Structure 1
Amino acid sequence: MPVTTAPAALLALYDREMRRGARPDGPDAVVERVGRVVRRTAPAHGWNGIEWSGFVSAREADEAIAGQIAHYTSRGLPFEWKLYAHDEPADLGERLSAAGFTAGPDETPMAAETDALTLTDSVPDGIRVVPVTDAAGVDQVAEVHERAFGDDASRFSRRLLDALTTTPDTVAAVLALAGDVPVGAARVELTPGTSFAGLWGGGTVPEWRGRGIYRALVTHRARIAAARGHRVLHVDASPRSRPILRGLGFAPLTVTTPYVYEPPR
């Protein structure tokens, strides 16, 4: 694949390999194609949701929405319908809202071929980047996550430790340390048999932002992905990270919105 692949072609490849061809991300996760929906069902601390849908009519969409609500509700699981701007029908987001889903903030999926990235091996003064290999490291990643994003990291940290323990070929995590203090963290998810590696959870604690830590963490993860044979990096970029990623060579592909359904208590 040439390093000049257009964003539209990368999006088509992503739809084919990562959405329609989604694979389990852990030993207890199940990916199924049910009609024109690809869904992932995992334990409560895992990610549960709809990876892809391709409806040919509004009626088919409504029936599928009801079916997925029944599937996850019967298991007592909240789930996410990850809606992409090019998904059909065009009013699918409105139909999800009408069915009881809550829309989260939009994100911008971006992608880049590893050979086309502008990377640097430099790290900010006083910072070292180290791999995460054990529960103590996962605890430090969770500490950064909570300070950087302001939300609870207990489910995420359990999922990361599970992956590092049972399927270490599918994930790698890194920490940025100032001395022995964790100030940045991130992970890369590597999907065997695909072109893609996903950058997730990249965060820096507030007092260390603006010094190049996020860029250094992207570089480290890009090198891990390339060494393991993944040619394309993808990331759901926030407004804060988009300019940095553009500078490194990432291009926006589309817009995605998470629609979350909470089962009645």
Structure 2
Amino acid sequence: MTSKEQYLKAYDQQLRTDAETPSAIDVTRLGPLRLVTFAGGRGFITYQDLGGTHHIPTLVTTALDHFRAIPEISSVEWKTRGHDNAPGLHEALIAHGFVPEDPESIMIGPLEALAQEVQLPAGVTLRKIEGEADIRAMSAMADAAFGDPASTRMADSLLARLARDDGMELWVAEANGQIVSCGRLEPVPGTDFAGIWGGATLEPYRGRGIYRALTAARARSALSLGKTLVHSDSTEFSRPILERAGLMRVSTTTPYNWSR
């Protein structure tokens, strides 16, 4: 197999299991689907392989009915992958009120490729954070970086995860005491992988190597934990950075979102 095929096989076998949702508060199986409930009223639907089933419309209906019956659930994400054999899934999701977001690239590669030292701009420092004030400041910065309304939802979710001690690490870059970039590291128990997620950098600080340095710091931390591979769902902002560091685009993923 080519490197791409090997990476994709490892991704499907190691990551598309319960390892994908370490912070779930409930997981219900529905045929090949895993119906996941997260804190904060968020539902999530994923699977390892639909096998080209002819019952996809029925699966979509039943899965959505499951979440409709839970009053606390306000939104549901169905996570699709571009390499899956799932004929009719897009049409079934649209018919049930799911709205597709922009596709992202599934990036995989050796952690060592990311772990090289990167020269930071003058006055910029990196650190791992755990305190509530830092986490809320980080989340507010990420909202601003993505142009989203300020919200406490992400900070509340991250604080709940840290309390469960599931291995997640939060890293930030600061300039003159202000958080200007951030990202998560999620070592995946029982696998070769660590995930790099949540990358965000304020616009005035982009293109200066800060995100690359923050990614390298997370990679070194993952290597110290015995992980060898890294994966990430990357936007077009971060994909070129990861490609230059040796990661490979093995497929795409598109979230479809439903709101009550």
TM-score (norm 2): 0.91
Considering only aligned residues, what root-mean-square deviation do their CA atoms show, in Å? 2.0
Give 3-state SS (helix, strand or coil) of 1:25's partner.
coil
- Structure 1 residues 34 and 141, CA gap change in structure 2 (3 angstroms): same
The separation in 2 between residues aligned to 1:243 and 1:259, in whole angstroms, is 24
Partner of 2:237: 240
Residues 72-81 or 117-126, more deviating: 117-126
- Structure 1 residues 153 and 247, CA gap change in structure 2 (3 angstroms): farther
Please, which of 44, 50, 54 is the counterpart of residue 49 of structure 1? 44
1:104 aligns to 2:101 (yes or no): yes
Q: Is the 8 A contact 1:196 1:233 kept in 2?
A: yes
Partner of 1:137: 134
1:39 is aligned with what amino acid? L
**Aligned-residue offset at 1:118:** 6.2
TM-score (norm 1): 0.90
The separation in 1 between residues aligned to 2:132 and 2:170, in whole angstroms, is 12
Residues 36-45 or 102-111, more deviating: 36-45
Partner of 2:160: 162
Partner of 1:223: 220
**Aligned-residue offset at 1:32:** 3.4
Partner of 1:39: 35
Please, which of 174, 186, 189 is the counterpart of residue 189 of structure 1? 186
- Structure 1 residues 206 and 58, CA gap change in structure 2 (3 angstroms): same
- Structure 1 residues 153 and 191, CA gap change in structure 2 (3 angstroms): farther
Q: Give matches, 1:72-221, under 5 Å.
A: 72-76=67-71, 77=73, 78-117=75-114, 119-151=116-148, 152-167=150-165, 169-221=166-218
Q: Is the 8 A contact 1:37 1:50 kept in 2?
A: yes
> How many pairs were matched up?
257
Please, which of 50, 66, 69 is the counterpart of residue 71 of structure 1? 66
Offset from partner CA, 1:139-168 (integer Å, 9 cap, x none): 12112101111224422111111112221x
The separation in 1 between residues aligned to 2:161 and 2:204, in whole angstroms, is 30
**Aligned-residue offset at 1:53:** 5.2
Residues 200-209 or 114-123, more deviating: 114-123
Percentage of identical aligned residues: 31
2:191 is aligned with what amino acid? T
- Structure 1 residues 14 and 91, CA gap change in structure 2 (3 angstroms): same
**Aligned-residue offset at 1:56:** 4.3
